[in-house]
Structure formats: structure tokens, C-alpha cells
């Protein structure tokens, strides 16, 4: 029986980061992981492979639509789907192999198999039981489906199946207009698939700024994606090669059927805690099946902690990473902290979408006086040079103090630009602080400065 200071269950972004930080802080650490490779859903069948396909298909889009305008003449490239899949897998292999290297470098033991907690202070992996002073549950999440709809990963697929379809479908229905649905829908739309997104609500990207929702939907529609909103999916029937989806309009109760080669169920994710033995252990859970924790990521069972998708909060890899570092600090006797008010969200469509902090709708509901500074990428020289003038930067600041309360970006490199604002918010900066900071020209980041200027006397280039 091996004994450790910390055993982490799950090697996704939360788990592996927690393990590395624990090891750096001098704690003897092991990680339980049953996959053949480390990195969890994110690196194996989530964030990383989807970004590889988004990148590859964006290059195809550029070749088909913009190369000739730039003087790059020639036949548009054809798609070799098996080779694109190989490229995607090579990106995955490089990243998961990198985590394995970091485990060896930090002397972290990989306990291969699926773990359970038979009692406090013990973790069972296969037939072996290991002792641990502290246990971190970082078991992640799995795709959630709709009642009565079976995911076979052939005709009706989750995001996992959508990443590795044997061929490019002619018609695809995406159920759910959230991050996963829009990203994977974008991939296949660029590949020539007729993509229809069916969404229960009357808007896409639930929870995001309404102006962002409207702008992104309009831009994706221009790219060929169709949207059916206010639609409640009733059933999905399949044959060997086709699917028939029935939905009911939430406006007039009329029923409509759609045919497709593939139906992607992208209706969110749910915490994955099956088989861990948490209920027998007496660990308190939420009504939604997530692990209850206190402000230090501790459960009600002494020595058992939980982070990431297994607990309450946005199911984001970087949120899990922050919690992984923080819980390691707590276990090591230091002060771990996560600022949940400054966790950015990104959608990697084209253009990208990024947000942090409050939306205008939230501020109005709170009755908080605010001002909005907005700048269009059409006024940004760098964006116009690369056919990326669609979208905007919007900064929300307190009306009296000018302190930044939130920001929303639709445009080129939005997922990178948002972090300037995240850092500003961490330091309690005002919009004027950003406006008075010199930004290199020509860069996309100038649009952020201009939006900050718009919170004051007004932008320069609009």
C-alpha cells in the first residue's frame, strides 16, 4: 500500500494542475487516471482537438474566400478528411505527452485505472488501495443529453463523436446553441455541411451579453449556419444512415421534422462522479449532482476536496486550473484564492467571442448605474487589413467611479484581447487607466483602448 500526501482523482486541467502545484509545494502526489492518456476531456476530446479542427477549417475558409483578393491565385485546396483527422490527433498527442513529461519532471505518480474512495484517507485503484492524507476529486464532466434521445456516437453524437466522424456529413443538425454547438457547427459549415442549429431559447449563447448574441448569430448566419430558435426537441429517430428530428415550436406548438445525416447533441455537460463512492462516504451533493464544497474547496468529509466541473460554477478548463492551484495552496497550508468575478469565457468561432464580468442585462437587474464604451473593429486598421472588421469591443464601467465591471468582445483574437481587461479588473482599474495606456499600432488591442476611451470623452477613430 503506497502512501501519499495528496491523491488527485482525474487528470484533466483541474487535476493535473492541482497535482503539479502540490508537487511544487513539496507534497508527495499521485494522480488516478483511467484513460490511456493524461489531460482529461479537454486535451483528449474537447478543447484541444476542437481548436485544431477550427484552425484547419478556418484556413480553408480563408483560401476559398480571401486568398484571391490578396493576390494569392490558384485552385482552392480540397479537403482530405483522414489527413485532417491525423493532424488533429497529432495535436492531441503532443499535448497529452507534454502532461506526462511534466508528471515525470515533478515526480508525480500516475496510478493507472479508475479510482474510488472506500473511506476517508484511502483511494482504491483496481485491486490496490492507497493511503492519502488529502484527496482531490477532479473527475470532470460528461455530455448531457435530452430525455428519450440516445447518443450512439454514429448518427446521434456528442461532441466526442462529432470530433471523429468517419466522413463529412451533407446535413447536420446541432441541438443547442451554446459554445460546443456553435464551435462544432462552424467546423462542419466551413467543410460544406448544411448546418442547422436548433435551440430551445429565443437566443444563442445563453448567459452572454444580448448585443453579442445578436451580432454573433448574424455573422454565423452569413457563414451559412441556419438557426431555429424557440424550438423544443421532441424526438430523434434514426436509421442506419439518417436521422429525423422532431421539434415543437414554443410559439404556436406546431411540430416540424428535419432530416440530417448526423445530429449533434450539444445541450451542455453534467458533473461526472459515478463510481467514486461519494454517497457511501457521506459526501454532500447538490441537487444537480455536483459535489458541495466550502470556500476552500473542502467537502463535508475531512481531507476530501473537489474542484472543476465536479463542483458548482462554469464548466471551463481555466476555472478548473485556477481551483487546482488554489486547493493545492490550501492543502500546503497557504492561502489559495480564485476570483470568480474575473473568469473569462471564450467561443472560438470566427470571429471569436470573449467576455468577462457583468453583462449590461445583469447590471440593469442589479440597478447599478454604469456606462458603456463601445468601439467597432471596422475602425481598427489591423482588423480591416485581414478582412476581420466585423464585431466590436464593449467595456462596462461604473458610472461614478469608472471602475471596469465587465467587457464583451466579438472580433479577431477576442480570446486573447480579453485578458488585458481581466488583468485590469484584478487590479481594480478604471476605464481611464486602460485609455491612458499606450497600445502598439497597428494591433487589434487598440480596439480595447478605443472602447475604454469611449467610456470617457470618446474614441479617436470613430
Helices (H) and strands (E) in the chain, counts: 14, 22
**Catalytic site residue from 65, 337, 419, 441:** 441
408 annotated to a ligand binding site: no
Strand, coil or helix: what is 197?
strand
115 is in an annotated binding site: yes
Q: How many CA atoms lie within 13 A of 189 on its CB side?
A: 22
CA angle 444, 447, 450 (to 5 degrees): 150
436 marked as binding residue: no
For residue 426, the surrounding DSSP H or E stretch is helix 414-426
How far apart (Å, rounded) are the C-alpha atoms in residues 128 and 10? 17
173 is in an annotated binding site: no
* 45 contacts: CB under 8 Å, gap ≥ 6: 159, 160, 163
Concatenated DSSP letters of 81-111 = HHHHHHHHHHHHHHHHHHHHHHHHHTT-EEE
- Is 180 annotated as a binding-site member? yes
Report whether 199 belongs to an annotated binding site.
yes
Binding residue per annotation — 182? yes
Whole-angstrom Cα distance, residue 373 to residue 54? 30
Residue 151 near residue 161, CB atoms below 8 Å: yes
Note if 441 is an active site residue: yes
Tell me: is residue 409 an annotated ligand-binding position: no
Cβ 137 vs Cβ 9: under 8 Å = yes
Q: What secondary structure letter does DSSP report for 80?
A: -
* Torsion, CA 261, CA 162, CA 273, CA 105, rounded to 10: 170
Place of cell 460554477: 313
Q: Is 185 annotated as a binding residue?
A: no
Q: How many CB atoms lie within 10 A of CB 274?
A: 11
Residue 329 labeled ligand binder: no
Residue 51 marked as a ligand binder? yes
Give the position of cell 448585443.
Answer: 211
Query: Cell digits for 12?
Result: 484533466
The rounded distance, in Å, linking the Cα atoms of 194 and 210 is 26
DSSP at 70: G
How far is 225 from 93, CA to CA, in rounded Å? 31
111 annotated among ligand-binding-site residues: no
State yes or no: 268 annotated in a binding site.
Answer: yes
Binding residues for NAD(+): 176-183, 199, 268
Binding residues for FAD: 51, 115, 309, 315-318
Binding residues: 51, 115, 176-183, 199, 268, 309, 315-318
Q: List the catalytic residues.
A: 441
Amino acid at each position: 500500500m503506497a502512501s501519499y500526501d495528496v491523491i488527485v482523482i482525474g487528470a484533466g486541467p483541474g487535476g493535473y494542475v492541482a497535482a503539479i502545484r502540490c508537487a511544487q509545494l513539496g507534497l508527495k502526489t499521485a494522480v488516478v487516471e483511467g484513460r490511456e492518456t493524461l489531460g482529461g476531456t479537454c486535451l483528449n476530446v474537447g478543447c484541444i482537438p476542437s481548436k485544431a479542427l477550427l484552425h484547419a477549417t478556418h484556413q480553408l475558409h480563408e483560401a476559398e474566400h480571401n486568398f484571391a483578393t490578396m493576390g494569392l491565385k490558384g485552385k482552392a485546396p480540397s479537403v482530405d478528411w483522414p489527413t485532417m483527422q491525423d493532424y488533429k490527433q497529432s495535436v492531441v498527442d503532443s499535448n497529452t505527452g507534454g502532461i506526462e513529461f511534466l508528471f515525470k519532471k515533478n515526480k508525480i505518480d500516475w496510478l493507472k485505472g479508475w479510482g474510488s474512495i472506500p473511506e476517508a484517507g484511502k483511494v482504491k485503484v483496481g485491486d490496490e488501495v492507497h493511503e492519502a492524507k488529502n484527496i482531490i476529486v477532479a473527475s470532470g464532466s460528461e455530455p448531457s443529453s435530452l430525455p428519450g434521445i440516445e447518443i450512439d456516437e454514429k448518427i446521434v453524437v456528442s461532441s466526442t463523436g462529432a470530433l471523429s466522424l468517419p466522413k463529412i456529413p451533407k446535413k447536420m443538425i446541432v441541438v443547442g446553441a451554446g459554445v460546443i454547438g456553435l464551435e462544432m457547427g462552424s467546423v462542419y459549415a466551413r467543410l460544406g455541411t448544411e448546418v442547422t442549429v436548433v435551440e430551445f431559447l429565443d437566443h444563442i449563447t445563453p448567459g452572454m451579453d444580448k448585443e453579442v448574441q445578436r451580432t454573433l448569430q448574424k455573422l454565423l448566419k452569413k457563414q451559412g449556419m441556419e438557426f431555429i430558435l424557440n424550438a423544443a426537441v421532441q424526438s430523434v429517430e434514426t436509421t442506419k444512415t439518417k436521422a429525423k428530428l422532431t421539434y415543437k415550436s414554443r410559439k404556436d406548438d406546431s411540430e416540424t421534422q428535419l432530416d440530417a445525416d448526423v445530429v449533434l447533441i450539444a445541450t451542455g455537460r453534467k458533473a461526472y462522479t459515478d463510481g467514486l463512492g461519494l454517497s457511501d462516504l457521506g459526501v454532500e451533493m447538490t441537487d444537480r449532482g455536483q459535489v458541495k464544497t466550502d470556500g476552500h474547496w473542502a467537502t463535508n468529509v475531512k481531507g476530501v476536496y473537489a474542484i472543476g466541473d465536479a463542483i458548482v460554477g462554469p464548466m471551463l478548463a481555466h476555472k478548473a486550473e485556477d481551483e487546482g492551484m488554489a486547493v493545492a495552496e490550501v492543502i500546503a497550508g497557504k492561502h489559495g484564492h480564485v476570483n470568480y468575478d474575473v473568469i473569462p469565457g471564450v467561443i472560438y468561432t470566427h470571429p471569436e467571442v470573449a467576455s468577462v464580468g457583468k453583462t449590461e442585462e445583469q447590471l440593469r437587474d442589479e440597478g447599478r448605474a454604469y456606462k458603456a464604451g463601445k468601439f467597432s473593429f471596422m475602425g481598427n486598421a489591423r482588423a480591416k487589413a485581414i478582412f476581420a472588421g466585423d464585431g466590436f469591443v464593449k467595456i462596462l464601467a461604473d458610472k461614478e467611479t469608472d471602475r471596469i465591471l465587465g467587457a464583451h468582445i466579438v472580433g479577431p483574437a477576442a480570446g486573447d484581447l480579453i485578458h488585458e481587461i481581466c488583468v485590469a479588473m484584478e487590479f481594480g482599474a478604471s476605464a481611464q487607466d486602460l485609455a491612458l495606456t499606450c497600445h502598439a499600432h497597428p494591433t487589434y488591442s487598440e480596439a480595447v483602448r478605443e472602447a475604454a476611451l469611449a467610456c470617457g470623452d470618446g474614441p479617436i477613430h470613430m
